[in-house]
Amino acid sequence: MTIVLNPDGVSIAGCTLIYAPKTQALEYAPLACNPYRGCGHGCAYCYVPLVTKQDRREFDEGAVPRKNFIHRFLGEAAKYQAAGITEQVLLSFSTDPYHPGNTERTEWVLEKLIEHGLAFCTLTKGGTRALANINLFRPDRDAFAATLTTLDDAFSRKWERNAALPADRIAALKAFHERGIFTWVSLEPTLDVEASLSIVDATHEFVDLYKVGRANYLKAITTTIDWESYTLHMIDRLHAVGAKHYIKKDLQSYLPVNYPNPLRIPQRH
């Protein structure tokens, strides 16, 4: 068993289900797991089918449990336990742990991560569907995160047609916060500058951290938003409400010189 040292953590060579993400995904978590193939939220901006070479129509039809997953996952979890690795595993990058279909596999994965000494974080657009598993989350180990692009239902239905509506995602964030669970919001993709700024205003009292990115793979938005202006306005807003934050690499060139921007803020209480 070979332990691989990453810039901000460790992983085990050869593990493909509990793995160290690369490139942009590495900015979100040191370890990750994707229990499903496909999603079902039908987000118009989703990059996953392109990057993973999946048929978009099939991807959007819904999430299905990955084949040959359980035995391999248990074997990998045992390797992490034997190595004494206890970092958070993020669910998920190429799917959603609380997609519109059957999410029993998510509950099983969380339970097995706990059994093998690993922490976890779920990143979802599934909103209050996640409350089914809230009792598994531990304040001193785990985190709950939601992607938010807008507060407006019509805008959300346009871009994220089967995802939970913004108010439902916010309700989930509040519920986890009230349980003492670390919460964070992914402000990526940024589809509208004022919408993203408004999300901070509306949620900062129960969100512990914001991770701020831009829009990619969307030429009409990527090439028309003034990203420098957005970045500077966003950090001003975050400072005004006293919110912890991380500005992703795509926007870091616009930060003031020597701006403190730690990659890994501990996601636990």
Provide the angle, in degrees to the nearest 10, between the axes of the packed helices 227-241 and 193-203: 10
What's the pLDDT at 255?
98
Is 7's pLDDT higher than 60?
no
Phi, psi of 247 (to 5 degrees): -95, 120
* Closest among 192, 195, 215 to 203, alpha carbons compared: 195
What's the pLDDT at 8?
58
User: What tens digit of pLDDT does each residue of 237-265 get?
Assistant: 999 999 999 999 999 999 999 999 999 99
Angstrom distances, CA of residue 152 to CA of 165, 196, 226: 8, 11, 22
Is 50's pLDDT higher than 90?
no
User: What tens digit of pLDDT does each residue of 81-128 get?
Assistant: 999 999 999 999 999 999 999 999 999 999 999 999 999 999 999 999
- Give the mean model confidence (pLDDT) for residues 187-193: 96
Question: All domains of the chain, ordered by start, with CATH?
Answer: 3-252 (3.20.20.70)
What's the pLDDT at 140?
98
- Among 41-50, 63-72, 168-177, the minimum mean pLDDT is found in 41-50
Helix boundaries (H) for 20-165: 48-52, 56-61, 69-83, 104-115, 153-159
Q: Which residues pair with 244 in a beta bridge?
A: 209
CA torsion sign for 113, 114, 118, 121 is positive
Diameter of the chain measured on Cα atoms: 50
Q: Average pLDDT of the chain?
A: 94
Phi, psi of 183 (to 5 degrees): -120, 145
- Among 3-17, 78-92, 113-127, 180-194, the minimum mean pLDDT is found in 3-17
Is 218's pLDDT higher than 80?
no
Angstrom distances, CA of residue 1 to CA of 11, 15, 41, 84, 87: 11, 10, 37, 12, 18
* Closest among 148, 34, 28, 155 to 95, alpha carbons compared: 34
Percent of the chain with pLDDT over 70: 97
Whole-prediction pTM value?
0.95
Is 23's pLDDT higher than 70?
yes
- Give the mean model confidence (pLDDT) for residues 182-211: 97
